[in-house]
């Protein structure tokens, strides 16, 4: 595979290709659950520091003494083969952490937006974000046990979703169901390139 890069030091170690997929949606829509269900390793958590120091300032003397806070990001890994890994990143749920989204979205293959029909409007900001940046996405309607069932058509209408954006029911707790959502995303990405992935 020509996409595999070799160590520049000439040690011959193969560096895998890492594809980044974002898992977005409103607070409580099941992002962490979906990442957990799909990840081959225990879902990992990483933190990003919330501080103005990271933005436009090179070196702050005394910043070591300043208190700040962090926001957690869930992520998981799916190894496709030794040369190809998929990393899933759950986006922080709060709108004010948008600046972290930009970092997460950089170079991302695409995104899954999880929708909860009890609080459909919660996923509007995620949909807007990916639409505005031309990042391919699919919408998974997470079926909670006590969630009211709507038809996909009704949800598509309520979300004012472009007809080309795949929309499907899913169960974020279920690995097989989550797999189907990811597959629909990758097929959507391929379609956007004009090269459909054969079944």
Partner 1 sequence: MRAESPGPQHEWLDGDAGPVVRPYTLTGGRVRPPVGLDLVAFVLAGRSADPAAHPRLHPEHRRLVELARRPVPVAELAAELDLAVGVVRVLVGDLLARGLVSVHEPAGTAFLPDDNILKAVVNGLRAL
Return the residues of window 53-72 that contact partner 1 according to CB under 8 A: 53-54, 57-72
Q: Please state the closest distance from residue 57 (CB atom) to partner 1, in A.
A: 7
The Cα–Cα gap between 187 and 25 comes to 20
Which of left, alpha, beta for 58 (phi over 0: left; psi -120 to 50: alpha)? alpha
The Cα–Cα gap between 87 and 21 comes to 6
The Cα–Cα gap between 27 and 91 comes to 10
List all residues 6 or more positions away from 12 whose beta carbon is below 8 Å from its beta carbon: 6
Is residue 157 at the binding interface for partner 1, with CB under 8 A as the rule?
Answer: no
Q: Please state the closest distance from residue 103 (CB atom) to partner 1, in A.
A: 7
- Contact with partner 1 (CB under 8 A) among 23, 25, 26, 81: 81
Pick out residues in 100-139 that bind partner 1 (CB under 8 A): 103-104, 106-107, 109
Task: Give 66 or 149: the residue with its C-beta nearer to partner 1.
Answer: 66
Task: Give 80 or 121: the residue with its C-beta nearer to partner 1.
Answer: 80
Q: Are 60 and 49 in contact (CB under 8 A)?
A: no
Q: Please state the closest distance from residue 190 (CB atom) to partner 1, in A.
A: 5
């Amino acid at each position: 595979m020509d996409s595999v890069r070799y160590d520049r030091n000439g040690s011959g170690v193969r560096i895998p290709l890492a594809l980044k997929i974002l898992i977005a949606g409103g607070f409580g829509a099941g992002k962490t659950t979906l990442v957990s269900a799909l990840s081959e390793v225990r879902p990992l958590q990483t933190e990003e520091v919330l501080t103005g120091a990271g933005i436009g300032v090179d070196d702050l003397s005394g910043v070591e003494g300043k208190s700040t806070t962090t926001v957690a990001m869930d992520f998981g890994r799916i190894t496709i083969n030794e040369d190809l890994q998929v990393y899933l990143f759950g986006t922080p749920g709060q709108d004010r952490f948008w600046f972290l989204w930009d970092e997460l979205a950089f170079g991302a293959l695409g995104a899954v937006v999880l929708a909860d029909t009890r609080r459909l409007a919660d996923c509007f900001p995620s949909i807007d974000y990916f639409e505005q940046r031309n990042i391919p996405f699919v919408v998974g309607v997470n079926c909670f046990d006590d969630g009211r069932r709507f038809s996909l058509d009704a949800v598509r209408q309520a979300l004012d979703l472009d007809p080309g954006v795949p929309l499907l029911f899913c169960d974020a707790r279920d690995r097989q169901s989550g797999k189907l959502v990811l597959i629909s995303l990758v097929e959507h990405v391929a379609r956007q390139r004009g090269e459909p992935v054969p079944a």
